[in-house]
Amino acid sequence: MNPIVELIDVWKSYDGTQALRGLNLEVYRGEIFGLLGPNGAGKTTTLKIIVGLLKMDKGIVKVNGIDVSEEPYEYKKLIGYVPETVSLPDYLTVEEFLIYSGKIREVPNEQIKERMNYFIRLFELGEKRKSLIISLSRGMRQKVAITSALIHDPDLLILDEPFIGIDPMGQHIIKDLFNERVKDGKTIFVSTHMLDTAERLCNRVAIIHKGQNVASGDLKNLQQLSRSGENATLEEVFLRLTEEAEK
């Protein structure tokens, strides 16, 4: 099976820090993939390189088989992205922003309307539809950002800490949404610190530490790799693997 995201020996340094040191990673179609790692491990840098916000120093990144260095625009039509710190144009209303997100991705008007209405209903944003984004709470902004990332129905959804600031009901809705999308053959690539959420949500995870892939696979693979026993939680596996990598 061809991976939808493939990183081969990716290196990146900035501000005097070596953020990625030959990172290798594969994410397959139809899975929820979790990228885990301690602070400063290179998770956000990895996601930013995939979505084209950062350029790598060395290596190959392929999305759906397309080398992102050679074709920096086309592949982005396949992805939806939600950054860790969501900044949205405060001067637009929720509806205007979603129209803007759809238009720049060349989504036909009818589909923009249809998907916008669907997600506004799903995330209970109806009352805020005509409100300026500046008036929204952090959780609502996050929901608007997720909606904008889904407005073109992307094959690959990339999210950096998507649950921060969202209430439990909202988190539940988003997790259900992810599971539904995966059933339709779409892929979710999520970076998170919330290990219990990752354990329940993700089909496979990768643990990165100091810019390198320490281990990847499903929980069973990781339990074997870390020799932490078959009852070990993802948190225990994570701690063991990162400690070993530190040595």
Partner 1 sequence: MRINIILEVYKFKVKAFFGALRASRASLALLLVYTLGFIPSVIGFSMSITNAVKQGNINLELYAELLVAIVSALILFVIMLALRGYAVFEYEQNFIFTSPIQPREFLMASMFADFTASLIFVNPVFIFYAIIVLSLGLKFHLALLMLLAILIFIFMLFFLKTSLSIIKILYEGLLINSIILALAFIFLLPALRLLVDFPLKFSSLPYPSTFLAKILLDIIFNEEPQMSNFLGLIFYFSLVFLLFIFASGKNFFPLSKYIPFVSPFDTSMRMQTLKMKKSIKIFSRISLFFQLNLKSRSLLLFLMRKEIIRIMREGSLFAIILLYLIAALISISVRQASQPPQVSSFFPLTLLVGIYSLIVPLMLVSNWRSSEFENLWIPLTSGVDVRTVVRALLYDFILISSAIPALLILILSIFSNTNPISSLILIVSTSMIGCSVNLYVMINFIGKKRRGTPTLLIGWVSLSLSALLLAPTYLSIVLSVYLELGDLVAILLSAAMLIYSALIMRYFLRKMEKSVTNIEI
* Residue numbers at the binding site for partner 1 (CB under 8 A): 14-15, 51-55, 72-77, 79, 81, 83, 87-93, 96, 99-101, 103-106, 109, 112-113, 132, 134, 148
CB of 211 to partner 1, least distance (A): 17
Q: In this complex, which beta carbon is closest to partner 1, that of residue 12 or of residue 209?
A: 12
Distance of closest approach, residue 159 Cβ to partner 1, in angstroms: 12
Nearer Cβ to partner 1 (131/228): 131
Query: Residue 112 is which amino acid?
Result: I
How far apart CA 50 and CA 54 sit, in angstroms, is 8
Cβ closest to partner 1, residue 80 vs residue 219? 80
What does the alpha-carbon distance between residue 76 and residue 97 come to, in Å, rounded to a whole number? 19
Closest to partner 1 by CB, 42 or 215: 42
Q: Is 223 left (phi over 0), alpha (psi -120 to 50) or beta?
A: alpha
Partner residues linked to 13 by β-bridges: 18
The residue among 53 and 169 lying less far from partner 1, judged by its C-beta, is: 53
CB of 101 to partner 1, least distance (A): 7
Smallest gap from Cβ 109 to partner 1, in A, equals: 4
Cβ closer to partner 1: 150 or 234?
A: 150
Task: Please give the full DSSP string across 60-83, using - where no structure is assigned.
Answer: EEEETTEETTT-TTGGGGGEEEE-
Query: Measured from the CB of residue 89, what is the shortest distance to partner 1 in angstroms?
Result: 5
Helix 94-104 vs helix 138-150: crossing angle, to nearest 10: 30
CB of 106 to partner 1, least distance (A): 8
* Beta strand 58-63 pairing with 3-14: antiparallel
Q: How many CA atoms lie within 13 A of 146 on its CB side?
A: 29
Residue 112 to residues 6, 81, 103, 148, 212, Cα–Cα distance (Å): 30, 17, 8, 10, 39
